Chains A and B, each alone.
Chain A
Amino acid sequence: MARRRLKAVLVVGAIAMLAAGAQAEDRFGIGRPATPAEIAGWNIDIGRDGSNLPPGSGSVERGRTVFTEQCAACHGDNGQGAVGDRLVGGQGSLASAKPIRTVGSYWPYAPTLFDYIRRAMPQNAPQSLSNEDVYAVSAYILSLNGIVPANAVLDAKSLAAVKMPNRDGFVADPRPDVHNR
């Protein structure tokens, strides 16, 4: 009896696998191939390990100029924040009653800075800065936070090597976390 049932299960399983295999080949044929050039133009996300960072480099010094021209109006002359987020300070405040979350105190990965500035900043003209200037502004904001020295020049390798103070500050979602019944 048990053997017969097992046999039936195996047969059903084999049919299901055949069906799945057939389905995989049974595509709708909708869409066209994406060309490497098309993908290269849109593939802008940067990994936390710096993967996909483009060639080029930028200095803290150049970053100061770009920041003054492009960023200070919203983020303040020294990144202290205004209409735009505060970018500087707050290290050591996260466990206090008044946590200050900035690039320096909160962001876990430096390459994310390049990713976000390039895709979304400045708010009035995103994706308008050269890669060099994005490296430079990233370097300047990190230097304002004391994370890289004032004479730093950052490129793909050195930006990926920056260890952010809050890198290990994140935990997985434990919810449901309130057990009330």
Chain B
Amino acid sequence: MSEHTRDKRVREASRRRFLQAGAALAGGSAIAGVAGTTALAEQGNNLPPNVPEWMKAPGEAMGSQPYGTPSVHEKGVVKNISKTLPQYISASGRTPLQELDGIITPNGLFYERHHGGVPTIDPAEHRLMLHGMVDRPLVFTMEDIRRFPSQSRIHFIECSGNPVYTKPYGKTASDLVGLLSCAEWTGVPLKTVLDEAGLQAGAKWIVAEGADAAALTRSIPIEKCLDDAMLVYSQNGERLRPQQGYPLRLLLPGFEGNMNVKWLRRLKVVAEPAYSREETSKYTDPMPDGTSREFTFYMEAKSIITRPSGGQKLTTHGFHEITGIAWSGHGKIKSVEISLDEGKSWQQAELQEPVLTRALTRFRLPWHWDGTPAVIQSRAVDETGYVQPTLAELVAVRGLNSFYHNNAIWPWRIDANGEVTNGQA
């Protein structure tokens, strides 16, 4: 069957089902409860007691999709990319957080930020050069890098500007904090590779450079390089996606996204930072007094409710699970508290295992919605004891000129019709 015919058949089936079953369960963003206590049979050719049409003939043959893609019914679950960006070479695209479950971001939905487009790199011709204050300047092929003892670890990466401090605020969880994703990364600890070259006395920083058209450059403190930094070549079991730095990326768990340099081609060991454009004119944080904070590496503790969240609708009263994600660049999430009354009172959410350091943590709270308007919000506490602040608390200290590192609590407003909107807007 051709792609066209198959699509058409699926569309026809969907249309019939929609018309016959009624609209209640068909809307993608609606959150429906159980039909309730009344026995209300649905009508539809594919619904009980009828035999669904997809049971009456064999499905697609083996090999119809050499690389599997999501169901045709999930076509709407894609990266959230603004249609009105001034340009698309230095730009970002967001993960649709409110559409996802668990803590792992599928590779195709991992957020993107690049500064000179996505290069197409032949791994056979990609090299990592390690030089500067080392005993033995070295060049590695990708085959070399994969020969080192490997490790796999689950960590989030988050862009530092996620979200901005000023209006207009986004409508959905993705609009607000979609420059955030989490994956299982495989590679070699950077320390192992540095030991191979031999660090010299006085080595304090490493300048990392990408092989993209921006040759993006950031300086990494040596302590981080010798701690949990990795050179990664795989993401969720398969090789990195081009948008994530194929074939090699620097992973700095808990540090702001841009420092996790993609398409990594060079590491230069030095005594002081490069003060590159990306760590002076960008990725510095302007304060009300005109000064700017530099080298603001860590992403502080943060959380957001992803369901119910902005753009969704509760279609029934009764039971709803509140769920979301929490994370901290400083370690593990210790607890997540949820308020259902505009922040007046808070209760503990349940944390889904595993709770991993510098990874997304899924939280849940059972909830019965009785139809009265509500403002719901979550607040993360990490293992250092740090408590996620409100936007007002952040702005009181940092003012409104700052652009990066907004980790504020974000409330959602639920109206009497079940419509969920941004509680700050």
Contact = CB atoms under 8 A, between A and B. Distances in A.
Given A28-B196, A107-B281, A180-B387, A34 B129 contact: yes
B199 to A, nearest CB: 10
A120 B196 contact: no
B275 A178 contact: no
B213 A126 contact: yes
Q: Using C-beta atoms within 8 Å of the partner chain, give the interface range for chain B.
A: 35 or more
Contact of A108 (B87, B209, B275): B275
A101 interface: yes
Given A31-B140, A95-B288, A120 B215 contact: yes
Contacts of A38: 129, 139
B288 A112 contact: no
B74 interface: no
Given A33-B136, A120-B277, 15 more contacts: A27-B195, A28-B192, A30-B140, A30-B148, A31-B130, A31-B144, A31-B196, A45-B207, A48-B274, A101-B281, A101-B286, A108-B275, A115-B276, A173-B294, A173-B296
B300 A171 contact: no
6 contacts: A120-B214, A170-B284, A173-B293, A173-B297, A175-B296, A180-B390
B163 to A, nearest CB: 17
B296 A123 contact: no
A32 B197 CA distance: 10
A1 interface: no
B288 to A, nearest CB: 7
Interface residues of A, number: 49
Interface string A21-47: 001100110111110001100111111
Contact of A175 (B139, B215, B274, B300): B300
A46 to B, nearest CB: 8
B377 to A, nearest CB: 14
Contacts of B385: 181
Contact of A126 (B214, B386, B389): B214
B147 interface: yes
B48 interface: no
Contacts of A174: 293
B204 interface: no
A170 B137 contact: no
A95 B289 contact: yes
A135 B126 CA distance: 30
A170 B129 contact: no
A6 interface: no
B291 A178 contact: no
Nearest to A29: B196
Interface of A: 23-24, 27-28, 30-34, 38-39, 42-48, 83, 94-95, 97, 99, 101, 103, 106-109, 112, 115-116, 119-120, 123, 126-127, 169-178, 180-181
B144 A83 contact: no
A178 B276 contact: no
A42 B129 CA distance: 9
Interface in B196-232: 196-198, 207, 209, 213-217
Contact of B147 (A28, A33, A120): A28
B293 A34 contact: no
List of 10 A-B pairs having minimum Cβ-Cβ separation, nearest first: A95-B290, A31-B138, A94-B290, A119-B215, A116-B277, A34-B137, A48-B275, A178-B389, A170-B294, A173-B296
A112 B294 contact: no
Nearest to A47: B274
B387 A33 contact: no
Contacts of A176: 300, 386
Contacts of B94: none
A170 B139 contact: no
Interface stretch (B312-320, B348-356, B394-402): B394-402
A54 B348 CA distance: 59
B131 interface: yes
Contacts of A33: 136-139
